[in-house]
Structure 1
Amino acid sequence: MNLSAIDDLKPYAVGLAQQLIQFPTENPPGRDYHNCAEFLKKECETLGLETEIVQVEATDRYNVLAWTSTRKTDLHFHCHYDVVPAGHGWAYNPFSGSIVDGTLYGRGSSDMKGGIAAVFTALKAVQNLEDISISVSLTPDEETGGALGAEYVVKNQLVDTKMAVLPEPTGLKTMFNACKGALWVQVTVHGEAGHPSVKGLGVNAFDRMVVIASRLQKLKEIVEHKKSALHSYPEGGEWANLTLGGRCSSGEAVNAVPGQALFTIDRRTLPEEDLETAQQEIRECIGKDAEITVLMEARPFHIDEQTDVCQLLNTASETVMRTSVNCALCPGFLDARHFVHAGIPCVTWGPGIYGNAHISNEFIRIEDMMTAAKVFYVMATTTT
């Protein structure tokens, strides 16, 4: 196994990552998806992969699928090409792909266009793609839950594989074999608008909201004493969470009794919990005093460290980095959940730093990207 051949592909890997960063695929709202998907399709074809684009009906969402010889494969690489909005505070153009001292800067460099470049570099290093059994999906909308990306691909059985890997940023030393779940809820409290100059005119929805929120604060204290038995990376993610008021609004004007108020709840569940129970606790706490709308549900998961995909990644890591990779719980929710709940064992591992993903001046170290490419190459060439 000649891993030095991958070192020779560094210009390709860096150039590809830069080109991907230059597509401003910000989500929301979902910019430049079609152009990026077409570029990825052509790149897959250049590598020698069979490729197609599947457009989600009546949307501008495009899923790119590629495979070696048959669509039923031993190993699948799942990637997302959308990124969070660039925001402010950058020292470099967030969509230029600037390189400074061996570090590539740009929105999506770490999450996860550098990971995509690592996968493609690994496949480019394979002399004969017919000798391996690999498929790849490149999807949108991961940053907003993945309903029209990973979830769509899995639900419509567009991927048929024994195991999957997501090249999200984990710092190379950690693989996520578990992730927390999420329940996003909007609570709408109704009152009756009125003029504030006369006592008793109107029913203040804000006052009602405060009472409900105070009850939820007591539930929050109970929830946040729950701790997973799994190790979390980064530390602190092993605790359950309940966050109130990520969005909050009330009334229409200063000089009016608010007739409606609303706020959101973000409940993060542990793999040992289930979403149904978490939702029931919230409903019981609120009672009939408000309207409850579920905005998003993401089920947690945990796969055993002895699962084949975990063992394959560790074997490849030991070959390339001379060390194994620690299994950990991801505090966020991952596209991997869609695969796991469909019966496809899936882990998340890749170049880039987890806490660096959505910040200004997001970056990836080029050497880390090349190390990941070597690990992916070993995985791809030893599954058959």
Structure 2
Amino acid sequence: GLLKGDIGVVEGVHSPVITIANKGLIWHKVVVTGKAAHSSRPHLGLNAFRGAVRAASSLFDLEEELAKRRTEMEVSDDAHSHITMNIGGVCDGGTKPNTICDRFSFTVDTRVIPEMCLSEIDKLIRERVYKALTGTHYGYNIELIQKVKTAVGLSNDRMKELVGMAFSDVVGIKPRFVLAPFFSDMRYLVSAGIPTIGIGCESGLIHGDDEWVSLEGLTEMSSVMVNIARHISKSC
């Protein structure tokens, strides 16, 4: 392939940790259909929003159950140790305030630990929505928007030792090697057979209008990357 190298470095969690794996993800869009009618005669229609609420409620129950499944990998925050779901990240439906909603949709973003496969999550989501809407007059469809497998970028103990020394030389702290709760370009390098880590600097308000990163931290992480290259080149 076009990608070759002794190690890859991508975005990661703020130090003093080094990301050596990313959670997987699977995105769904649940579309519930009903029947439009004038809101003064709701008995002539079928409110798709109400059906969507039933489906979403069943998935919130599933979310609580999946949160009990925890990874054996080390994490930087206990909140990252289990499967998470974002239900309703994007919602859409209805046409006018005086019309019974005949179509309503919502998305489901599930972040998956390495110990669980994406196909199992897909099956569970479909089963829960099916049970929630069985026996009703609602129609529904579940679209698979995207799926990304868990990526484990670094498992070699010797490489961890070299990276750890390079990091501590600059930062002055021995790093922890952790699973990140997000997914990144690590998956592309891993698929090419390149050991990969993620490092990051202090930041805040991620994905918000006022997202920021520390300039001092960027400088420090640049020095870490240079030192990693130095340590690995000496060992080759």
Same-fold call, TM > 0.5? yes
Q: Does 1:178 align with 2:21?
A: yes
1:158 aligns with: 2
- The Cα shift of 1:286 comes to 1.6
Q: Which runs of 5+ in 1 are unaligned?
A: 1-156
Deviation digits for residues 216-260 of structure 1 (CA, Å, limit 9, x no counterpart): 222122112211122222341112112211111221011111111
1:84 aligns with: none
- The Cα shift of 1:292 comes to 1.1
Matched residue of 2:214: which SS?
Answer: strand
Matched residue of 2:13: which SS?
Answer: coil
Q: Does 1:192 align with 2:41?
A: no
2:141 aligns with: 291
What TM-score results when the alignment is normalised by the length of structure 2? 0.84
Q: Which structure has the higher relative contact order (CA within 8 Å, separation 6+)?
A: 2
Partners of 1:294 and 1:361 lie apart in 2 by 29
Point out the structure with the larger strand share.
2
- The Cα shift of 1:169 comes to 5.1
Partners of 1:309 and 1:294 lie apart in 2 by 37
Alignment of 1:174-253 (within 5 A): 174-253=17-96
Alignment of 1:285-364 (within 5 A): 285-287=128-130, 289-303=139-153, 305-350=155-200, 352-353=201-202, 355=204, 357-359=206-208, 360=210, 362-364=212-214
Partners of 2:53 and 2:115 lie apart in 1 by 31
Q: 1:218 to 1:374 in 2, by over 3 A?
A: closer
Q: Does 1:379 align with 2:228?
A: yes
Aligned length: 225
2:118 aligns with: 275
Q: CA RMSD in A?
A: 2.3
Deviation digits for residues 316-341 of structure 1 (CA, Å, limit 9, x no counterpart): 12433444311011111121122223
- The Cα shift of 1:309 comes to 4.0
Deviation digits for residues 172-219 of structure 1 (CA, Å, limit 9, x no counterpart): 311001121111111111112122323531222112212212222221
Partners of 1:217 and 1:316 lie apart in 2 by 43
Q: Which runs of 5+ in 2 are unaligned?
A: none
Matched residue of 2:44: which SS?
Answer: coil
Partners of 1:209 and 1:372 lie apart in 2 by 45
Partners of 1:231 and 1:262 lie apart in 2 by 36
Alignment of 1:54-93 (within 5 A): none
1:47 aligns with: none
Matched residue of 2:79: which SS?
Answer: coil
